[in-house]
């Protein structure tokens, strides 16, 4: 089962600063979560991210999982060291703390597997997974699928997705029921004026038109 975890505002700890560790950090950046990286090796990329305030970077050589005792309310523990036994200890400790855990070298002890993700404009994500059987094949298929999806998904689709988020937030205090809010959101996709504004790249005007339409729906919802 492929899921999209909501990690906003939550603590994610990545142990290991090699290729796998950096890959996991890249995947977490932009998710608005608190990222801590613990590694005996500190490369330029991780140093730059720490200097920009995007991650907390701790240089430490680990023999066991006791360093996790320093943290509370951990949501994710991603073990990506080159030591399989240490990774196993880290996931066992993380699971005991109530966190979701992942070992880069051992899908069998992980709570989830990483999909190969196509990310379009930071708005739409399409995941391809082999459930840990073959990350290499997942990446190969992702590359082929991405070429097709980037032709199919238009700029107007991306802007519509952004407008839907804007409209959903604006509608919550004004339209009472979930069903009515859903109907309102569908109406935006069908509204010829709003869709033309999006195609013309007049996004602020599209937002204004959305708010005008929302006022009418708000009066109906009272």
pLDDT tens figures, 162-180: 999 999 999 999 998 999 9
Residue 6: its pLDDT value, please? 86
Residue, of 83 and 129, whose pLDDT is higher: 83
Query: What predicted TM-score, i.e. pTM, was given to this entire model?
Result: 0.69
Where does the pLDDT of residue 15 fall: very low under 50, low under 70, confident under 90, or very high at 90 and above? very high
pLDDT, residue 125, reads: 86
What is each CA distance from 43 to 28, 95, 199, in whole angstroms?
Answer: 18, 28, 43
The band of 80, judged by pLDDT with boundaries at 50, 70 and 90, is very high
Q: Decide if 66 contacts 4 (C-beta within 8 A).
A: no
SS3 for 159?
helix
User: What integer pLDDT is reported at residue 122 of this predicted model?
Assistant: 79
Nearest 10 degrees: CA dihedral of 99, 105, 106, 110? Answer: 20
């Amino acid at each position: 089962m492929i899921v999209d975890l909501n990690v906003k505002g939550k603590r994610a700890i990545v142990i290991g600063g090699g290729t796998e560790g950096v890959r996991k950090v890249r995947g977490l950046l932009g998710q608005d979560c608190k990222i801590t990286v613990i590694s005996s090796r500190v490369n330029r990329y991780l140093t730059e991210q720490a200097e920009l305030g995007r991650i907390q970077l701790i240089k430490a050589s680990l023999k066991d999982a006791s360093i996790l005792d320093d943290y509370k309310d951990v949501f994710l523990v991603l073990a990506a060291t080159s030591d399989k036994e240490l990774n196993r200890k880290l996931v066992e400790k993380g699971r005991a703390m109530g966190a979701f855990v992942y070992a880069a070298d051992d899908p069998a002890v992980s709570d989830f597997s990483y999909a190969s993700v196509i990310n379009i404009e930071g708005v739409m994500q399409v995941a391809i997974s082999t459930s840990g059987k073959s990350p290499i094949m997942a990446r190969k298929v992702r590359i082929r699928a991405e070429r097709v999806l980037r032709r199919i998904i238009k700029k107007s689709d991306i802007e519509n997705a952004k407008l839907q988020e804007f409209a959903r937030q604006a509608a919550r205090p004004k339209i009472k029921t979930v069903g009515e809010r859903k109907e309102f959101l569908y109406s935006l996709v069908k509204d010829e004026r709003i869709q033309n504004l999006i195609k013309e790249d007049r996004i602020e005007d599209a937002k204004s038109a959305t708010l005008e339409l929302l006022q009418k729906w708000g009066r109906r919802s009272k």
